[in-house]
Structure 1
Amino acid sequence: MKNFSEVTSFNLSAYYGMDSLMPFYFSIFFVIYVTIAIESVTLIGVIYCDKSLHEPMYFLLCNLAVNGFYGGTALLPAMLSNLLTHSYEISLPLCQTQIFAVHTYAITEFTILAVMSYDRYVAICYPLLYHTIMPQRIVKLIVFIWIYPFLGFLIVLMFSIQLKFCNRTIDKVYCMNYLLVKLACTDTSAANIVGLFSVALYTIPQLGMIFYSYAHILRICLISFNSSKFKALRTCTPHLLAIVNYSIGCFCEIALSRFDNSSLSDQTKLFLSLYFLIFPPILNPAIYGLSIQHIREKLLKLFSRNKRIGVQ
């Protein structure tokens, strides 16, 4: 009888469809990772160096950039290494580490977006109290943003770690918890229950906060109906774009994993599976950098200064 506990590595089968275009994929993902790193560091650097940007909204934006870089790092260095070496296997410990990183990135991203909606709610609905309420709460909120996903998902992962596996093939370029559980040959009922509970725990409170915040923001803007309120409402635009961008990625991942995708090409499946790990980290700094006037002005000054130095 086969000893299933001996399964200590997994085959990431989605890489085989990339073999013929390996240099192309390697170049694309390398450029994407460098872009994420540059955008994140630039945005954080601008906010850190300019004291006028030391406000709760910008602190949350820094955390969003840090998490985007964390999510990109959870995926792209391993992908680049696999493409370069043509080694498409991943050990069980590395697979579990990647699962932890990918899932905590996703939960933290959604949590930051929920807290940012609360920040906009206070700023628009209670503008006179904003600089009293948010500075007192921002440190606690940032601690919560990081502790809540990391400790919570660690409990979920502990159930997956105890499983024994009877299959080695993961039809993706990275590890996901539900895919690992599907490979188990032992009873997975406890892991499935904990997984469903965690999905509710990591989506319902955040969705509730976002809908509550924007319902009150819209109510205040419609009641007041003055230019200052609608000007304040425009500050929500980059946040709403970030939510939509992240939601598209999550929808793509859910649709790909829960429904029949046999009619899709390998390239389409790859794009859909990577969307939520690549596009939010790339687009969020660009969205905020271009949409928020203070950041846009600081970036323009920075680039113009560097251009003058280069000319000299």
Structure 2
Amino acid sequence: MDNVSVVRVFTLSGMNETTNYKLAIFSITLLYYCMILFFNISVIAIIILDEDLHEPMYILLCSFCVNGLYGTTGFYPKFLLDLLSPAPEISYAGCLLQAFVMYSFACCELSNLAVMAYDRYLAICRPLHYHSVMSKRRLSQLVCFSWLTPFCAFSINVGLTSRLKLCGANLQKLLCVNWVIVKLTCSDADTFSNQAVSYIIILFYFFHGVFVIWTYMHIIRTCVRSKDDSRKFMQTCVPHFISMTTFIVVIFFDLMYMRFGSRDLPQGFQNFIAIEFLLIPPLLNPLIYGFKLTKIRNRILLLIHGGRK
């Protein structure tokens, strides 16, 4: 293929591994996606409907769960349709859109985690200044930062990808990601801008991680000196720490494998590595926050007992 205008449709050859188990995988995936929708929407609804939960920590959690819905909606419906299709394909425009959603979801997750770490730092290390610093205006700015920064960054990245000349239309994946599309480029010289922007974005979000580590160093140092702060840490920071660690680990494996991994591994294992960031965090996050945060857990128990009556 000489140029990008020839590529109208990409073939998702990563789906070939599912040929003999499509019905079983479809049923399990549909159930799993319904669970993700149910738990995330439940946490969001509880926070929105209960005025006692209209506090910065819970509003940031609500944003966190909305992002989980955003990312999984960019993958699961299309994947379920592909399981019912004899020849899984995705249009060129649809592929770019899915790549944008996947990357912006991942970076929005990191931004949300950084903002939530900042909120916990203020609540535990600077409690007397918490309400003055974490005002409604500041909270709105932080939420906008969490969403708009990834959107702007990857609009540029995907925009650069759309201008590349491609010499292939076969994606060995279950979904579209920007780096896989870039690897289909006819000339490596054309990818310099994409790689430069990608490394800048990676560096930017690396500093997110450094910031989170810095906040936790201060939080732990403060909590060691106070039993009340230690209790607050166990209740509100442990869920955040679990979410952050889980997401960073799965993203790290995905990035390392995408860049340096061997193609000799079984396709099923490659598929799992490619989508684990869409499997584990979106379901784990609402569960650990729902059961660990006392106010949300009490609202859930109240709804359950009220429903039984």
TM over 0.5, yes or no?
Answer: yes
Would you say the 8 A contact 2:3–2:165 is kept in 1?
no
Deviations 1:198-256 (A, max 9, x none): 2212x12311220121111122223xx22112112212000000001101210221232
Percent of aligned pairs with the same residue? Answer: 35
Deviations 1:143-172 (A, max 9, x none): 111111111211111110101110111111
AA aligned to 2:82 is N
Displacement, 1:14?
A: 0.6
AA aligned to 1:151 is C
Matches within 5 A, 1:1-312: 2=2, 5-136=5-136, 137-186=138-187, 187-201=190-204, 203-222=205-224, 225-234=225-234, 235-308=236-309
Deviations 1:239-290 (A, max 9, x none): 0000011012102212321233345322222221111112111110001001
AA aligned to 1:170 is L
Segment of structure 1 superposing worse, 132-141 or 76-85: 132-141
In the alignment, structure 2 segments of 5+ residues that lack a partner are none
AA aligned to 1:191 is N
Would you say the 8 A contact 1:100–1:157 is kept in 2?
yes
Compared CA separation, residues 302 and 161, structure 1 to 2 (3 A): same
Segment of structure 1 superposing worse, 189-198 or 142-151: 189-198
Would you say the 8 A contact 2:12–2:173 is kept in 1?
yes
SS in 1 for 2:23: helix
SS in 1 for 2:74: helix
Aligned length: 305
Once residues 38 and 76 of structure 2 are traced to their aligned partners in structure 1, the CA distance between those partners, rounded to angstroms, is: 15
In the alignment, structure 1 segments of 5+ residues that lack a partner are none
TM-score (norm 1): 0.94
SS in 1 for 2:261: coil
Displacement, 1:45?
A: 0.8
Once residues 89 and 269 of structure 1 are traced to their aligned partners in structure 2, the CA distance between those partners, rounded to angstroms, is: 19
Segment of structure 1 superposing worse, 93-102 or 184-193: 184-193
AA aligned to 2:177 is M
TM-score (norm 2): 0.95
SS in 2 for 1:39: helix
Compared CA separation, residues 105 and 294, structure 1 to 2 (3 A): same
Would you say the 8 A contact 1:246–1:276 is kept in 2?
yes
Would you say the 8 A contact 1:104–1:149 is kept in 2?
yes
Once residues 118 and 265 of structure 1 are traced to their aligned partners in structure 2, the CA distance between those partners, rounded to angstroms, is: 41
Segment of structure 1 superposing worse, 95-104 or 187-196: 187-196
SS in 2 for 1:5: helix
AA aligned to 1:247 is I
Compared CA separation, residues 3 and 261, structure 1 to 2 (3 A): closer
Once residues 53 and 42 of structure 1 are traced to their aligned partners in structure 2, the CA distance between those partners, rounded to angstroms, is: 14
Once residues 242 and 196 of structure 1 are traced to their aligned partners in structure 2, the CA distance between those partners, rounded to angstroms, is: 24
AA aligned to 1:146 is W
AA aligned to 2:147 is W
Displacement, 1:177?
A: 0.5
AA aligned to 2:215 is S
SS in 2 for 1:116: helix
Compared CA separation, residues 4 and 242, structure 1 to 2 (3 A): closer
Compared CA separation, residues 128 and 33, structure 1 to 2 (3 A): same
Once residues 183 and 279 of structure 1 are traced to their aligned partners in structure 2, the CA distance between those partners, rounded to angstroms, is: 29
Over the aligned positions, Cα root-mean-square deviation in angstroms equals 1.4
AA aligned to 1:80 is L
Would you say the 8 A contact 2:74–2:101 is kept in 1?
yes
Deviations 1:173-192 (A, max 9, x none): 00010111110114211222
Would you say the 8 A contact 1:29–1:80 is kept in 2?
yes
Once residues 183 and 256 of structure 1 are traced to their aligned partners in structure 2, the CA distance between those partners, rounded to angstroms, is: 17
Displacement, 1:50?
A: 1.3
